[in-house]
């Protein structure tokens, strides 16, 4: 029933969802995580509705006869299956950019990277590992800030029922990786083993990819794998949202800090467009709808980043055989 979202003139951070009601009346419903107390039903005349709609169209990216659709690729560097969160984020971005926004989700990191390469996506939130691998093809747009820093860690987790205490106890066991292009879910563990003079291909008895940090946690919690390598930010977020799941796992080891998975633009994206997109992300704390999305993401904000943040990942990547 939702037809369009408009910014609320009284609060630039709030947008309202328009649903048809009767012949001329409309219901103005607050969307996303706007507090319940802010909910109101106001019946307006058709003229009021049209004038309000016209006044509220933002200028940014609003020029042109047919505004383009911005496609934003997502990888499981966060809990990307939370559809309500995605809906909130999409509405926020559309309101700020004045364009339609579509999220592009694929089964693996490599497939999302392909969408950037072949123009199916303009922007993407990817892992630091593929960023350093294809740095020349990409524009760094923004980096999330989590717990005060644009940094995160890789967690080595194990089944809470197992007696494994250090990484070396995992020899011959079953191990769950996230994705071959994941820093925290693959590269770090490979680096750790190589740094300790172990052959990653032979150290574990059996290993497999789940292509999602959340699935790594599930695989370890279910006992399918004895241990797994997972994004620390995802594990901590899961611990808040689903403590019964993370409670069945145990963190064996935490890595050093790495640059947080960045938001990048494809090489062909116009610089103004990239800046507008970055600004929309940077401005999220200024709007209640943006703050709601950040709260759901458990992030502080998006900040400008630089390639130096990912130096550690780049060093580890140099020791890794080319994966993509």
Partner 1 sequence: MATASPQVLAPFGYRLKVPIALMAVALVSGILVAATTYMLVDRHVEENAEAETRRLAGTLARALAQPVLRNDVWQAFQTMRAAAQPPGTSAAQRVDVVALDARGQVFATPSPRVHPLGQHLSALPEPLAGAARLVLESSTPAPARVEVPGSGVLVLASPIVGEEDTVLGVVLASHPRALTDAQRSAVIRQLLALGAMAMLVVALAGAAIGLRMTEPLGRLRAVMLASARRAGSEEQAARAELVEVCARRDEVGELGRSFAAMLDQIAAQQELERHMLEAERMASIGQLTAGIAHEVNNPLGGMLAAIENRRLRGGVDDATAHALALLERGLRQVHDTVQALLNEARSERHALTASDLHDLELLLRPEAEHMRCRLDWDARVPGLELPAVPVRQVLLNLTLNAIAAAGHRGRVKVWTTEEAGAWQAWVGNSGPKLDAARLAALTQGSERAGDGRLGLGLWITARILHTLGGHLRLAPPDDVLGTLLVAEFTTPAP
Smallest gap, in angstroms, from Cβ of residue 212 to partner 1? 9
Place of tokens 């009601």: 21
Nearer to partner 1, 222 or 272 (CB): 222
As a whole number of angstroms, the distance between CA 148 and CA 155 comes to: 19
Nearer to partner 1, 207 or 289 (CB): 207
Nearer to partner 1, 208 or 282 (CB): 208
Nearer to partner 1, 205 or 247 (CB): 205
Nearer to partner 1, 107 or 119 (CB): 107
Smallest gap, in angstroms, from Cβ of residue 215 to partner 1? 6
Smallest gap, in angstroms, from Cβ of residue 42 to partner 1? 40
Confirm if 46 and 54 have CB atoms less than 8 A apart.
Answer: no
Q: Which of 1, 2, 17, 3 is nearest to 289 (CA)?
A: 17
Smallest gap, in angstroms, from Cβ of residue 172 to partner 1? 9
As a whole number of angstroms, the distance between CA 237 and CA 299 comes to: 10
Smallest gap, in angstroms, from Cβ of residue 205 to partner 1? 6
As a whole number of angstroms, the distance between CA 206 and CA 185 comes to: 16
Smallest gap, in angstroms, from Cβ of residue 206 to partner 1? 5
Report the b/e string of 66-85 with b at 16+ CB within 10 A.
Answer: eeeebbbbbbbbbbbeeeeb
Distances (CA, A) of 322 to 107, 168, 181, 216: 20, 25, 10, 23
Distances (CA, A) of 36 to 21, 39, 44, 82: 21, 5, 21, 20
Nearer to partner 1, 186 or 302 (CB): 186
Q: Which residues bind partner 1 (CB under 8 A)?
A: 174, 176, 205-206, 208-211, 215, 219, 222-225
């Amino acid at each position: 029933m939702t037809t369009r979202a408009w910014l609320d003139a009284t609060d630039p951070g709030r947008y309202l969802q328009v649903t048809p009601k009767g012949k001329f009346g409309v219901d103005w419903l607050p969307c996303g995580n706007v507090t319940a107390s802010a909910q109101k039903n106001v019946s307006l005349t058709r003229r009021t509705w049209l004038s309000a709609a016209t006044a509220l169209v933002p200028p940014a990216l609003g020029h042109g006869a047919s505004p383009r659709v911005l496609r934003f690729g997502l990888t499981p560097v966060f809990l990307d299956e939370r559809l309500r969160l995605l809906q909130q984020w999409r509405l926020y971005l559309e309101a700020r950019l004045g364009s339609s926004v579509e999220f592009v989700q694929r089964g693996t990191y490599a497939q999302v990277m392909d969408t950037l390469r072949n123009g199916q996506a303009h922007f993407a939130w990817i892992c630091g590992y593929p960023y350093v691998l294809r740095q020349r093809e990409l524009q760094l747009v923004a980096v999330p800030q989590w717990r005060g820093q644009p940094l995160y860690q890789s967690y080595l987790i194990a089944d809470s029922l197992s007696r494994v205490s250090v990484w070396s106890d995992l020899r011959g066991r079953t191990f769950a990786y996230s994705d071959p292009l994941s820093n925290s879910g693959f590269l770090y563990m490979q680096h750790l083993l190589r740094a300790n003079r172990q052959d990653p291909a032979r150290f574990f008895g059996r290993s497999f990819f789940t292509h999602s940090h959340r699935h790594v946690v599930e695989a370890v919690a279910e006992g399918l794998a004895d241990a797994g390598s997972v994004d620390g930010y995802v594990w901590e977020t899961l611990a808040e949202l689903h403590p019964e799941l993370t409670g069945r796992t145990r963190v064996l080891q935490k890595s050093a800090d790495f640059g947080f998975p960045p938001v990048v633009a494809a090489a062909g994206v116009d610089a103004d467009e990239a800046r507008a997109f970055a600004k929309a992300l940077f401005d999220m704390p200024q709007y209640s709808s943006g703050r709601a999305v950040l709260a759901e993401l458990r992030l502080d904000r998006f900040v400008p980043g630089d390639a130096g943040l990912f130096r550690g990942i780049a060093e580890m990547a140099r020791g890794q055989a080319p994966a993509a």
